[in-house]
Amino acid sequence: MKNTIIRQARAEDVPAINDILNYAILHTNYNLNENPRSIEDAEIWYKEHIDEDYPIVVAEKDGNVVGWASLSWFRKFSGYRTTAEVSVYVSHQYRHKGIGTMLVTELERLAGKYHILIAVITDNNTASLSLHSRCGFVPMCTFRELAYKNGEYVSVTFMTKKLN
């Protein structure tokens, strides 16, 4: 998207990052949390990512954060240290404009120490399934009706991409 800057997140971006996440929590079944994340928890999340060298990137347009993406622990077992989970969120006003692709591309550039990236995507999030497919992720498995949110069972697909 024209005039969009992709850059590493800074501490002052945390409120905007949190607002974008909380919109998804409250208005979709894409994130399976049922309660919004507090700003205090978001600040802890940010600090842990920075301290443990997990990248967080933001998309900035006209001085505003309009999307973000991060790599995180897949599971906190030492055997998974070469695997990272991808999270991508774009503000609802800016979806379907290529920002997600820009964010994933930058995350991959920063993911040199990882062998596998994994995305855990609800099946009703067709935009994310398409995004990850375009970026070279392949579906590995689908867990049918794995979760329950907003009065419905939600299936979840794991997609992976081998980096090296």
pLDDT at residue 140 greater than cutoff 90: yes
* Neighbour-count burial of 86, counting CB atoms closer than 10 A to its CB (0-12 exposed, 13-18 middle, 19+ buried): buried
Domain residues for 54? Answer: 4-162
Q: Is the pTM higher than 0.85?
A: yes
**What's the pLDDT score for residue 77?**
95
pLDDT digits (tens, 9 = 90+) for 74-115: 999 999 999 999 999 999 999 999 999 999 999 999 999 999
Helix (H/G/I), strand (E/B), else coil: 83: strand
pLDDT at residue 1 greater than cutoff 70: no
Which of 58-77 are b and which e, b meaning 16 or more Cβ less than 10 Å from the residue's Cβ? bbbbeeebbbbbbbbebeee
**What is the mean predicted confidence (pLDDT) over 132-157?**
97
pLDDT digits (tens, 9 = 90+) for 63-79: 999 999 999 999 999 99
Number of compact structural domains in the chain: 1
CATH of the domain at 37: 3.40.630.30
